[in-house]
Amino acid sequence: MGTVKFSEDAGLVHRDEKGVLRDNFSDHRVIIFSCSAYRSMCDSLYDQFQSGASIILYKMGEGYGRKLVKGVAKLELPQDELFEAFEKLSHLAGWGKITFKISSEKDIDTIAENSPFILRREGIGPFTCHFLAGVLGGGASEIFRSEYKAQEIRCAAKEAGVCRFRIIPRTK
């Protein structure tokens, strides 16, 4: 690792000639909304689907994670550097600090500090970062070209501190 060079001044997005916001890596169209808008959308999902909202958020994150890694893969980085790129890009995107501790392809611990995806809502259980868990599982699936899932094992919404995830191969 060590060849990924992203910095605050690198710029994540640009505005094209039609005024459309696009990311600088894949040239895909980008939308920006606040954390309060994200939480409002999640609240609507929980109001309508109760615990099913957790599954919806996970699946949305999973699809997003796969797409995100495919975009970063265009940078043609080695597999191990894709995790470093994800850490740096997520920080630049305002997701807090995400750190991967990779023991093997079967054991990846992830720590998320100051995550904007924490939901503080009564009655949704001890883990609330379903979207981010989906992003991590989908991203790992794309990097390793095999099916993975991420399980949140500690959530800052219920305990002070950080959110912790374990990324593991998905069993059939």
**Residue 92, helix vs strand vs coil:** helix
3-17, 46-60, 123-137, range with the lowest pLDDT: 3-17
- Identify the top-confidence range among 72-81, 85-94, 115-124, 127-136: 127-136
pLDDT at 3 over 80: no
Name residues whose C-beta falls within 8 Å of residue 55's C-beta, 6 or more positions apart in sequence.
130
What residues does each domain of the chain span? 13-169
Query: Is the domain 13-169 a CATH 3.30.1380.20 member?
Result: yes
Residues 6+ positions from 2 with CB-CB distance below 8 Å: 81, 84
Which two tokens mark 96?
A: 């807090």
**pLDDT, tens digit, for every residue of 23-52?**
887 788 989 889 999 999 999 999 999 989
The CA distance from 81 to 4, in Å, is 7
pLDDT, position 153: 96
Q: Say what the pTM is.
A: 0.89
Report the C-alpha gap between 96 and 68 in whole angstroms: 17
d(CA 12, CA 81): 18
Say if residue 9's pLDDT is above 90: no
